Structure formats: structure tokens, C-alpha cells
Structure 1
Amino acid sequence: MTTNESVTVTDADARKVAFGAFVGTALEWYDFFLFSAAVSLVFNTQFFTSKDIVVATAAAFATFAVGFAARPLGAVIFGHLGDRIGRRRCLIITVTMIGLVTGLIGLLPSYFSIGVAAPILLTLLRLLQGIAVGGEWGGAVTLAVEHAPIERRGRYAAMPQIGSPIGTLLSSGAFLAVGYLPKESFDSWGWRLPFLAAFPLLYIALWLRRRVEESPLFERLLEEDELASAPVREVVTKAWLQLLVGAGAAFLGIGGFYLCTAFVISYVKNTLKLPQTLALNATLVAAAVEILILVIFGRVAERVGAARVTLVGGLASALVAFPAFWLIDTKNSALLVLGVTAAVACLSIPYAVSGALLAELFPAKLRYSGIALSSNSAGVVSGFVPLLATVLLAASGGQSWSAAVLLIGIALITAFSGAIAPRVSLSEDRAVVR
């Protein structure tokens, strides 16, 4: 490849594109995270029937996992299109898909209305949602990175990451608000309101996405006729090591996050028998702190490198795993919130730089496909983390040490990936990976 990574970009242009990527991604994650919050609050009773709440919750988490299983398909489809027809066009398609699907979930009749068709339709919509998300994040990060000055890629690559805690705040906040409704009202129609809000939010997302310009690096590749003819195939056959390292680096930020949010919400409500609002409040506080962590470590990556930040974040998460669950198990509200916040803060350190790290593992002509496949390969496994944690919890007699051990394992995989990332990078520029 002869195309140089150097293009003329200004901070003003970079901020505009990064902000557009951030807002669009925040709305996308709001839609996707709604499902996460609803799994143990709504779907285990409205769409799955079982006298054993653990069985019903496990079935709901299995549907939750379907969205992650579908994400690699979205990565293949939109990764190919993003490296062939452009990043911007794909992002408009993905935001439209996920907005429509999320709104339709809010209109879906429950099991008590249409029987077994309800969980089947819910699973189908989750599948489509996963395909859309599979192409979203990789495109947003690619666009932000390729519009940014090389020496400041760390901060701009972190912008789409901030969409994750914002999405958590919006989705958890929405469920927290409707959670104060009487139980009968919440079960019959209240839980639907956050999903139906996806329709007006879709209009905002589309307006923002249409204002974002195409990547200058992609346009140069197009002009010089250096686009990859089969980018997904090239990533799988020629950059498989980078693919594995990228997936490992992204694992903690995705799988660890769902362990500390989706699973913990279920654990607090069903095992510790505490109010669901307490668990939601904990995720809100953790998400607010996560925003600060993302901003700080996006800047730190510009000085020490994304790989080192990933290594440190993975080790920190492993060290805090047991203390975090010990705090949760106290059943003290303040300590519970502290435990969740500490765990999310540590796993957010590598998440802050995963966009920068993955972008630097792949050359520009394969970047959309490489980032999308890496993150969504991690996403497939991550989608089953809450289900696995639930099974381990049952096997351990309801003891939280099983979840803590699982978090440590995930964290060490990410730490190892960060340690070897600089040695396997294929990017023409090493400004971020060191």
C-alpha cells in the first residue's frame, strides 16, 4: 500500500466529525443498552414464563446474547461496504436500522397477548439490532480517527467511546423514571416508553449523520484506486493475528461492562433481593464517572500509547474484581454503588483507548473491516458473559466470587492483548500504538 496516513486535517474539522460520531453513537448505544436494562426488569416476566426466576432470567439473557451473536454479521456486511463505498453512507444505514428496530420493540405484544410469538419476534428484532450495531461502532471510530491529526488521535478516538456511558445514562435514566410508576402500569405500558422514544431520537441521529463528511483517507484511497477488493477476506486471511489481538483488547470494555451492569442488575434484584432502582442508580453513577475516565485516558494515550493504557487498565480491573463484589455483597446502598463504580471505572481505562488501538492495528484500506470484526468478535463472546455469570452464580450457590473470577479472566485477556499490540501493528503510522 502506497497511500500515506498523512492528510491535511484541522482540529476544527476533527472536533466536528468526532462530535457527530459521539452523538450518533450515544443514540445508538441508548437503543442497544435499553435491551440490556430490560432483560432482568421486563423481558424475564413479560416475554418468558417460568416459575423459576433464574430460568426465566437465563432465557432472557440468551435473547440478549443473540444481539451480540449477530454483530459479526453486521461487521462483515458494513465492514465490506465501509471499505468499499465509504464510512459515512454505512453509518446512516446503521443508525436508521437500530432506531426503527428499537421503536418496534416498544410496540411488541407480550407473551400473555400473543403467546410464543412474542419471544420469537423479540429475538428477531434483537437479531436485526445486533446486525446494525455490528457496523456502527467500527465506522464511527474509523471516521473519527481518519479526520483527526495523527498526534491527537487519542482524544478524538475516545469521543465515540463516550457515547457508551451517555447511552447508559439515557437508558438507565429512562427505566429509572418509568420504574417509579405503579407496578401494574410499568408492566402494562410504562416499560415501553423508553423504547418508543427511539423514534424521535432517530430523527436527531439522522440529521447529525448527514452533516458528517466522508473520511479524507477513504477519498484518497478512492482517487488512487487502492481500495481493497475484498477487505473482510483480507483481514481474515492476512491480518488474522491483528484481528485476535484487537478482539482481546476490546473484550474487557464490552464483556466486562455487561458483567458489571446487566448481570449486576439481575444479581442485585434477584439474588440480593434489593430494589431494582438501587442497581439502576449504581449504573448511572458508574456511567457518569466513566465519562471522566474516558476523557482523561484518551489524552493519556497520546503520551504513553494506547497499548500501555490497555495493559494498565486490564491489570487494574483484575485487582479490583473481588473488592468490587465484596462491596456489592454488603447490601449497603453507598458501598454497593461504590463497588459498581470502581469496577466500571477500571474497565473503562482500556475502553477509552480501544478505538485508537484497533485503528492502529490495521492499514487504512482495511480499517473499517478490521475494527468492526475485532470489536464484534469480542462482542459475540461478551454477549454470553451475563448468561455465563448467571450459570456460574447458580453453580456456586449464589456466591459472587464466581462472577469476580470471570471478571479477572476477561481483564487478563485484555491486559495481554495490550502488551503485544505494538509488535503486531500493520498501520503505516505508529503515532498511537507504542
Structure 2
Amino acid sequence: MKAAAGGNQLRRAILASLAGNMLEWYDFFLFGTAAALVFNRLFFPAADPTAALLAAFSVYAVGFAARPIGGLIFGHVGDRHGRKVSLVWTLSIMGVATFAIGLLPSYEQAGMLAPALLVALRLLQGIAAGGEWGGGVLMITENAPADRRGFLGAWSQVGVGLGFVLASLAFFLARRMPEADFLAWGWRLPFLASILIFLVGVFIRLRISETARHLEEGRGSHAAPILRLLRRYPRAILTGVGIRLAENGGSHLLITFSLAYGVTVGAPADALLVGVMLGMIADSAMMPVFGALSDRIGRRAVYLAGVIGLALFGYPFLRMLDSGAPAMIVAAFVIGNGLCHAAMIGVQPALFSEMFDGEVRYSGLAFVHEVSSVIVGFAPLIATALYASSKSPVPVAAYLAILCLLSAVALLSWRGGKEDFSS
């Protein structure tokens, strides 16, 4: 086997992955915030505010529906033509679409053309995001030495927290202006500012080389990598999807659902927002720590610890939000995200990379990641329905525990990956 990439190439690969992940999650949080604060008022008829809000969130959901399509498209491109080619395209599409949202006319200015353009751009964002994760991960893990793959691979995920912080800061600053100015043009600034991340990311990605692992393991050797993936790796696909249920479902419940739940039980809004932000920062900071630990004691052990920790912490997490005490609320988010979730997401890049051979590795990662995202994408809705019907956090915690149990079974059934990436 060829040696791992040199230091300069590896550093550029980490920066390229970070930039793409940061832009993806900057868009994710930015669009969600704008859907609640702006899009319902500017892009849809105002006769029924509730209907307008539902329409805005429906457009938000379109991006998730498009992600598996992006995973299939760019998984194919990445396995056939190279990781670099695919990643330049995903970042370019994401950057242009996000920037273009900041230029859209309102419903009052353009009628139905305005929401139609918003939907089209959201589709492009979803397609780009679907191809981004797998390629960003592989640009690092295929360049990293095997004994540091967990630590270095985890850096591909750090962009999640950075994107969240940047999006929160951008909208916080935009909201400082008068309401009329914010609705007229101020809301556009965070979207237009995304061009800076995009330009830096493209500059870095154009300077990186294709991963040596991909060139060695059979670049373009199969006309339809996804078909080969489905034929030869059904167990790895099912296992990967199962393993990710706890991490992805937990993320939805620890962030999205928890905000709505906290407001419902009377928790201070400022404490909730600060808690989420500090929790995301803790998550990002601890990802490389758990990735490095997986290099020493194994991927399965660290990931399983995160799964068990999340299952046990689900009920205390909700009760800490119930307390209404700001310190308890912040601690709940920091523990849930910085310990339980980080132990899983920090190990995931290396763990999933080692499940597939190079000929289908990009397709495999993209397929598993996006299919599992669709499956647990309804987690906040399910959790909300469970709480609404019972007025108790117990069913919600039980639902999270079930997701964790399924992930634990999948993880324990996996017989291990190929740490040398050999066939």
C-alpha cells in the first residue's frame, strides 16, 4: 500500500473538508432560522400566518428530501472521477445557491415566482449537501495514516459547530437593525456573506490533490458504483444505517426538539439558546478527542459508550430543561452534545470509511449517511407527538432509548472494518 499523504496535503485536506462542512451547516441553521423569522412573511401570502409558516418549513424540508439524490449523484462522481472533482462541484453548487437566496425577490415583488425560486434553490442546496459529507470525510480519512485516522477524520465534523456559531452570529447581528430594515434587506446579509466561506473553500479545494488511496484502489473501475455497492455491501449498508440512528436521532432531539420542548415547559429562552450554542461548541471540541481515543481503544468501544451514555442521559436531559435553572439547562446541552453525541459523531468518519472498499467508498458513505438522515428526520415530529399525547418526558426518553438500542445492536453485529483500507 502507498504511504499516507504528506503533511501539506493532509493539512489542505482537513481545511477543505472543514470549509465545506462549515458552509453546509451554516446554510442548515441559517435557512431554518430564516424560515421561521423571514420566509413565512416575505415569500408566502400573509392571509393565514400559520399556513405561511408551514409553507416556509415545507420548503426547509425540501432540502432534506433532496439529499439522498445528491448522495447518489456525487457518490457516483466521487467513485468514478475522483473525490476532488465531486467536492469542488458540491461546494460550488451550495455556495452559489446560498448566495442566490440573498438576491431573491419577495412574493409582493414577483408573485408565485418568488417561492418557486426559493424551492428551486433549496433543492440545489439539498443535492449539494447530500454529496458533501462523504467526500469531505474521505478527503481526510484516505489521506490519513491508519493509526491517526480516528483523530484526523473527526476534524471533518468540526465544521458543524463552526457553521452553527457563524449562522447564529450572522443573524444576531442582522437582527440588531430596525425591524423594517431587517425585513427589507437586512435578512439578506447572512446569505450574501456565505460567499466568503465559499470562495475560501473553493480556493483550498482546487489546490488539493486526489487522494492516493482512491487512485490506488481502482478509480473509475466500475461504471455504476451504486449498483456494485447494493450487490456486494448490503450488510454494511444496513449496519451503517442502524449505527447512525442514535447519533442522528439524538442530534435532532438534543437540538431541534429540545428548543421547542424547553419553551413549552417554561424554560428561559436565553438559557436555551446559550445552552445550544455552548453545547455545539463542546460537541466540536470533543469530536477530535473521541476520534483520537478510538485510535487507541477501537472505534466500536468509543461509539458504544456514546450510544449507552445517550440512552441513559435522555430522561435526565429533559428533566434538567424542566428545572428552568439556567445553569442546569446549559449543563444539559453541554453534557448531551459534548460527551454523548461527540463520542459517536467523532468516531463516525473513520468507522464508516473502514466499512467499504475504495471502489464504492464514496457511494457507501453518502448512501448510508443520507438514508439514515431521511429515516430519523421525523424524530422531532415523533417526539413532539409523544409529549403532546402524554404531557410527560418519559415517552420521549423511551423513544430515544429505542433508537440507541437499535444502534447498539447494529454496532455489536459489525465484525470490524478494514483499517489498512486493503481489499
Tell me the TM-score normalized by structure 1: 0.87
Does residue 325 of structure 1 match 2:321?
Answer: no
Match of 1:245 in 2: 239
How many Å separate the matches in 2 of 1:326 and 1:319? 13
The equivalent residue for 1:157 is: 153
Residues 47 and 162 of structure 1: CA distance in aligned 2, closer, same or farther (over 3 Å): same
Q: 2:249 corresponds to which letter in structure 1?
A: G
Q: Give distance in 2, aligned partners of 1:149 and 1:159.
A: 14
Task: Report whether the alignment pairs 1:213 with 2:209.
Answer: yes
Counterparts of 1:56 and 1:14, CA distance in 2:
46
Counting matched residue pairs gives 420
* Contact in 2 for aligned 1:308/1:419 (Cα 8 Å): no
2:18 counterpart (13, 22, 30): 22
Deviations 1:123-180 (Å, cap 9, x if unpaired)? Answer: 3322211110111110011111111111111111111011111111111222233344
Match of 2:221 in 1: 227
Q: Indicate if the aligned counterparts of 1:18 and 1:144 stay in contact, CA closer than 8 A.
A: yes
Task: Indicate how the Cα distance of structure 1 residues 126 and 407 shifts in structure 2: closer, same or farther if over 3 A, else same.
Answer: farther
Read off the aligned partner of 2:159 and give its amino acid letter.
G
Match of 2:335 among 336, 339, 342: 342
- Residue 17 of structure 1 and its aligned partner are, at CA, apart by 1.8
Counterpart check, 1:310 vs 2:303: yes
Q: CA deviation at 1:252?
A: 3.3
2:61 maps to 1:68: no
Deviation of the 1:282 alpha carbon? 2.1
Q: CA deviation at 1:323?
A: 1.2
SS at match of 1:389: helix
**Letter in structure 2 aligned against 1:102:** T
Does the CA contact (< 8 Å) of 1:252 and 1:351 recur in 2?
A: no
Post-superposition CA distance 1:194-226 (Å, at most 9, x none): 11211222111111111211110122235xx77
Aligned-residue sequence identity (percent) comes to 36
- Please tell me the residue identity of whatever aligns with 1:371: L
Aligned to 2:249: 255
Task: Please point out which of 396, 405, 417 is paired with 1:412.
Answer: 405
Q: Aligned to 1:104, which of 94, 100, 107? A: 100
Identify the residue that residue 351 of structure 1 maps to in structure 2.
345
Cα RMSD of the aligned pairs, angstroms, is: 2.8
C-alpha displacement at 1:78, in angstroms?
A: 0.5
**Is the deviation greater in 206-215 or in 171-180?**
171-180
Q: What is the letter of the counterpart of residue 238 of structure 1? A: R
1:367: how far off? 0.6
CA apart distance, 1:291 = 1.8
Alpha-carbon contact 1:26-1:166 (below 8 Å) kept: yes
- Indicate the larger mover: 332-341 or 297-306: 332-341
**1:299 paired to 2:292:** yes
1:429 aligns with 2:420: yes
Measured at CA, do residues 155 and 101 of structure 1 come closer, stay the same or move farther in structure 2, by a change above 3 Å? same
Code of the aligned partner of 1:197 = A
Matched to 1:311, the amino acid is L
Which has the larger displacement, 35-44 or 148-157? 35-44
CA contact (8 A) 2:246 2:307 kept: yes
Q: Structure 1: how far apart are the matches of 2:413 and 2:30?
A: 35
Q: What one-letter code is carried by the residue in structure 1 that aligns with 2:222? A: A
User: Structure 2: which amino acid aligns with 1:410?
Assistant: L
Distance 1:295 1:376, change over 3 A: same
Evaluate the alpha carbon distance shift between residue 192 and residue 155 of structure 1 in structure 2; reply closer, same or farther with a 3 A threshold.
same
Q: How much does 1:292 deviate?
A: 2.1
Match of 2:375 among 352, 370, 381: 381
- Residues 67-108 of structure 1: CA deviation (Å, up to 9, x unaligned): 122111111100011000000011000001111111222233
Taking the aligned partners of 1:382 and 1:237, their CA distance within structure 2 comes to 25
Partners of 1:102 and 1:389 in 2: CA distance: 30
Work out the CA distance in 2 between the residues paired with 1:50 and 1:351. Answer: 43
Deviates further, 166-175 or 277-286: 277-286
Task: Give ranges in structure 2 of 5+ residues lacking alignment.
Answer: none
Describe the SS at the equivalent of 1:355. helix
Q: Spell out, residue by residue over 1:290-332, the C-alpha distance to the aligned partner (whole angstroms, 9 max, x if none).
A: 1221021010010111122211111111111111111222333
So what's the TM-score if we normalise by structure 2?
0.89
Q: Specify whether residues 253 and 46 from structure 1 end up closer, same or farther in structure 2 by C-alpha distance, changes over 3 A only.
A: farther
CA distance in 1, matches of 2:271, 2:42: 22
**SS of match in other structure, 2:209:** coil
Cα 1:204–1:16 shift into 2, 3 Å: closer
- Give the conservation status (yes or no) of the 8 Å contact 1:172–1:280: no
Find the counterpart in structure 1 of residue 122 from structure 2: 126
> Which structure 1 segments of 5+ residues have no match?
none
Q: 1:171 aligns with which of 149, 152, 167?
A: 167
State the alpha-carbon separation in 2 of the partners of residues 215 and 303 from structure 1: 25
Distance 1:332 1:415 in 2: 33
Amino acid across the alignment from 1:192: R
Aligned AA (2:306): G
- Aligned partners of 2:84 and 2:210 also within 8 Å: yes
* Structure-1 separation of matches of 2:4 and 2:342: 31
8 Å contact kept, 2:275–2:334: yes
Contact 2:306/2:344, CA 8 A, preserved across alignment: yes
CA contact (8 A) 1:66 1:383 kept: no
Separation of aligned partners in 2, 1:37 and 1:46: 14
